Amino acid sequence: MSKQTAAPPSAAQAEEQQSSTGVMDAPPDVDQQQLKRERDKAKERQKDRLSRLDSGHLLELYRQMLLIRRFEEKSAEAYVAGKIGGFCHLYIGQEAVGVGAISAIRQDDYVLASYREHGLALAKGMTARSIMAELFGKATGCSKGKGGSMHMFDKSLGFLGGHAIVGGQIPLATGTAFATKYQGTDRVTLCFFGEAAVNQGAFHESLNMAQLWKLPCIYICENNQYGMGTSLERAMSLRDIAQKACAYEMASEFVDGMDVLAVREATLRAVERARNDYLPTLLEIRTYRFMGHSMSDPGNYRTRAEIEKYQERDPIKLFSASLLEEKVFDSKVLEDIDRKVREEVEDSLRFAEESPLPDPEELYTDIYASPIEPGRK
Amino acid sequence: MSTITIREALNQAIREELARDETVFLMGEEVAEYDGAYKVTKGLLQEFGGKRIIDTPITELGFAGLGVGAAMAGLRPIVEFMTFNFSILATDQIVNSAAKMLYMSGGQFKIPIVFRGPGGSAYQVSSQHSQALESWYAYFPGLKVVMPSTPADAKGLLKSSIRDDDPVVFIEQERMYGNKGEVPDDPDFTIPLGVADVKREGTDVTIVARSLMVPIALKAAETLEEQGVSCEVIDPRTIRPLDIETIVESVKKTNRVVVAEESHPICGMGAEISTQIMERAFDYLDGPVKRVSGADVPMPYAKNLEDLAVPDVKKIIAAVREVAYLD
C-alpha cells in the first residue's frame, strides 16, 4: 500500500489473511472447505515469498533467528547462574520481527530499540561476543560495560541503542530520521518498541512530527500483547494499533510477526516509502514473547495454555517447516546451522567470561565529550 | 565594541554560529515565523530559511528528543524552550537521553545540543511560569548548565555552548532580555564554559551571584561601599561544571560569603556552593555562609507577594551586613 490505511483490517482478520503459514485454531462454525482453501492460498503465498529470495539469503534469515534464540537461551542460563546482573529482557518468540525487519534495510541505516534489544543488535550485525560481554559487564562489551542489557550500542553498525524508558527511543529515532533528511542522504531509521509504548505521549508526539515533516522513520510496534504483566486489553482503549496511524494520516500495516518473510516484505514496502519519498510508516507487528517480561517475571498473568498456543506458531519452527516443505534445504543443512550457532554462542560465553572487568578509572570517563578541567582559564 | 541588549547578543550568537556551521539548526515553538516569543530569534527565518529555523508544534518532549536523536546522527541542534517552565515536559529526554547517552554507549555517542530559553522569575505570571530550574539540571552529570548575566557573557557563552560537544542547558533570564551592555564585535569572540567571572573586586565579603542576581548584587555592593563594606561579586556563569576555585580564592581573601540566587533554598545550587566552600575553605571562613534564596513557596501572582518571593538589593545588603557582623 502506498497511502495511509483508510480502514485497516482488524487484528484477527489480518492475522488470518496475512499469515502465510497460519495454524490458527479454527472457530467451530467455520466452513472446513473454506478453511482448506484459505490454507492452500497461504501456502501458495509463502511459496511465492520464498521464491523471491535466493537460498543463501533464506538461510541467513534462519541462521539469525536461530542465533538469537540460542543466544537468549544462554543469556537466561547465565543470568540464573548470576553471571548477568540487573534486568534481562529476552527476545525469545519475537525473532522473526527483528530479523525480518532488519533484513529489509542497509547496513548504514539506523536502528533504535527499547531495552529488549539483544536480538535486534545481533540482527544488525553486532557480534555475539560484544553483546554477551556487555551483559557480563566486561570492558570488551559493546558499551564498555557501562550500558548492560538495556543499553547496547554500536555506532559503526548504526545500532543506536537500547533505551530503557518506555517509548524514550521514539523521539530519538524521529530525530535520526530528521538528521538523515537534513543531510540529504537516503538513510532510513527503524524504531522498535513494544505495544505498551504506544500509550506514551512520546509515541504520539513523534508520529505527529514525522508525518508533518515527512521524516524517513519506520515505527515498528512489536505487539507482544503484554506490557510487563498488563495485557493489551487492560491497557489500551483502541487495541488496533495500526489504526492509530490514521490519527496522523500515516501509512500503516498490520503484520504477522511470526512470519519472518511477511515482516521482511512489509518492512521493504515501508523502506521504499522512506527512502524514496521521506515518508514514515507505522507497522504493527503481532508477536508473542515466550519468556517472561524479564528474568524475574513470575508469569502469573497468563496461562500455560496461551503460551503453548503461540508456541505452535514459533517463528523459527514455522520458517524451518516451510523451508523443508518447499525443499529449499534438507534438514541436514538446518542442523548444521544449529551446530554452528551453538558454537558461536558458546564462544561468546567464553569470551565474556575471560574478558577483563572495566578498569576502575572508567567510572569517570565518557561523562563529557569535551570535559572542562577544573580551574581552566 | 557595540552596546546591545542581551536579546540582541543572543541573536547575534545564534546567527553567527548558523552561518559558521551548516550542521547547526534551531527549532522550537514560534522561533521562525513569529520571530520568537521573546524575539531572540528575530530575522533568522528570513536569513537561513525553513530548513534550519523550524517552528515546532507544542510538543516539548517530542522535539527535545528529536533534537537529541539528530545530535546522535551528527547535527548540532539548538532547541529553544519558549520558557524553561515547559522544559519540565522534556526532562526525560534531557536527563535520560542527552545527559547519559555518551556514558551508557561507552563513549560512542556524543550529544552536541543546546537547550536554551528564558528561565527564572518573570513578572506576575504566578507559579507555573515563574521559577528557577537550574538546580535540577545542574544535578545531572553529563549536562553543562550555563546562566549568563550580561550581553557579552550571553553572546560569548552561547557561541561556546553551540560549539561544545556536550549537551548544554543554557538558561537566559526572562527579566533581563532588555539589559544593555558592551559586546565585542569580533565574530570569533567566545567565552569558555566553566570559568567564573569576577564582576566586581572587593576585600570584605564575597557575594556569589548568578543570572538575575548579578546586577542586583552589584547594586547592593555599591550601596555597601558607601557603608564602608567592600564586596567582591563573583558570577560563576557556568554552574555545572562549577568553577569553585575562583570562588574559593575570593573566600580566602574576604573570609565571608553570601550566596544569592532565585532558586528555592532546598537542594538549590546555593546549598551546593555553600557546601563546597565549607569543604574547601572552612579554615578561611570567619562565619557561616549566608544564603539569600527565592522564598520557599510557589511564585505568587500579586505584585507585593511576588516582590517578597524574589531576592532584592535590600535582602542582599542585610545578608552581607550579617556575615560581616555589622548588625
Closest CA–CA distance from residue B181 to any residue of chain A (Å)? 23
Q: Do the strands B2-5 and A251-256 form a parallel or antiparallel pair, or are they unpaired? A: unpaired
Q: What is the pLDDT of residues B84-115, one digit of tens each?
A: 999 999 999 999 999 999 999 999 999 999 99
Q: Tell me if residue B129 is catalytic.
A: yes
The answer to whether B59 and A205 have CB atoms below 8 angstroms apart is: yes
pLDDT at position B205 is 98
Contact A178 B243 (CB under 8 A): no
Model confidence at A375: pLDDT above 90: no
What distance in Å separates the CA atoms of residue B84 and residue B29, rounded to the nearest whole number? 12
Sort out which chain B residues have CB atoms less than 8 A from A172's CB and list them.
Answer: 65-66, 68-69, 72, 93, 97
B112 and chain A in contact, CB less than 8 A: yes
pLDDT of A192 strictly over 90: yes
Cβ of residue B25 closer than 8 Å to a chain A Cβ: yes
Taking the CA of residue B301 and the nearest CA in chain A, the distance in Å comes to 31
Query: Rounded to 5 degrees, what angle do the CA atoms A372, A374, A375 make?
Result: 115
**8 Å CB contact between B155 and B163:** no
Q: What CATH number labels A51-296+305-356?
A: 3.40.50.970
Shortest CA distance to A110 belongs to which of A18, A211, A220, A244? Answer: A220
Q: Once rounded to an integer, what is the mean pLDDT over residues B163-187?
A: 97
Which grid coordinates are listed for B133?
530550574
Mean pLDDT check: name the lowest of A47-56, A219-228, B287-296: A47-56
Give which of B51, B54, B108 to mutate to test A binding, by max A Cβ within 10 Å: B108
Measured at the alpha carbon of residue A339, what is the angle toward residues A334 and A344, in degrees to the nearest 5? 120
Of all residues in chain B, the percent with pLDDT exceeding 70 is 100
Interface confidence: ipTM more than 0.95: yes
Residues A93, A85 contacting (CB under 8 angstroms): no
Give dist(CA B10, CA B156) in Å, integer. 9
Confidence of residue A142 (pLDDT cuts 50, 70, 90): very high
Which one of the listed residues B16, B29, B60, B232 is annotated catalytic? B60
Percent of chain A residues past pLDDT 90, beyond the cut: 84
Among candidate residues B30, B129, B225, B322, the one labeled active-site is: B129
**pLDDT tens profile B186-235:** 989 999 999 999 999 999 999 999 999 999 999 999 999 999 999 999 99
A209 closest CB neighbour out of B57, B103, B108? B57
B33-53 average pLDDT score: 97
| Residue-level pLDDT at A4 | 45
How sure is the predictor about A376, in pLDDT bands with cuts at 50, 70 and 90? low
Domains of chain B: 2-183 (3.40.50.970), 197-323 (3.40.50.920)
Q: For position A203, what pLDDT does the model report?
A: 98
Average pLDDT over residues A349-356: 98
* Cell 527579566 belongs to residue: B175
Best A150, A160, A205 member to test B by mutation, with max B CBs in 10 Å, is: A205
Pick the range with the lowest mean pLDDT from A12-21, A75-84, A114-123, B263-272.
A12-21
Q: Residue A72 pLDDT > 60, yes or no?
A: yes
Please return the burial class of A280, using the count of CB atoms within 10 Å of its CB with bins 0-12, 13-18 and 19+.
buried
Q: Cell numbers of B207, please? A: 557575594
Q: Does the CB of B218 have a partner CB in chain A at under 8 Å?
A: no
Of A153, A209, A374, the CB nearest to B66: A209
Q: What is the pLDDT of residue A18?
A: 45
Per-residue pLDDT for A10 more than 60?
Answer: no
Q: Is B69 on the interface with A (CB under 8 A)?
A: yes
pLDDT at A106 over 70: yes
Cell of B223: 550601596
Residues of A in contact with B279 (CB under 8 A): none
Over residues A307-336, the mean pLDDT reads: 95
Residues of A in contact with B64 (CB under 8 A): 171
| pLDDT over threshold 50, residue A2 | no
In this prediction, residue A29 has a pLDDT band, given cuts at 50, 70 and 90, of low
Kindly list the residues from chain A whose CB atom is less than 8 angstroms away from the CB atom of residue B50: none
Q: What is the mean pLDDT of chain B?
A: 98
- Number of neighbours of residue B115 by Cβ within 10 angstroms: 28
Answer whether the bond into residue B241 is a cis peptide, omega within 30°: yes
CA dihedral B64, B67, B69, B72 (to 10 degrees): -130
B60 is catalytic: yes
Among A176, A201, A366, select the one facing B106 at the smallest CB separation. Answer: A366
Which pLDDT value is given to residue A7? Answer: 44
B267-297 pLDDT, tens digit per residue, is 999 999 999 999 999 999 999 999 999 999 9
Cβ distance B27 to B117 under 8 Å? no
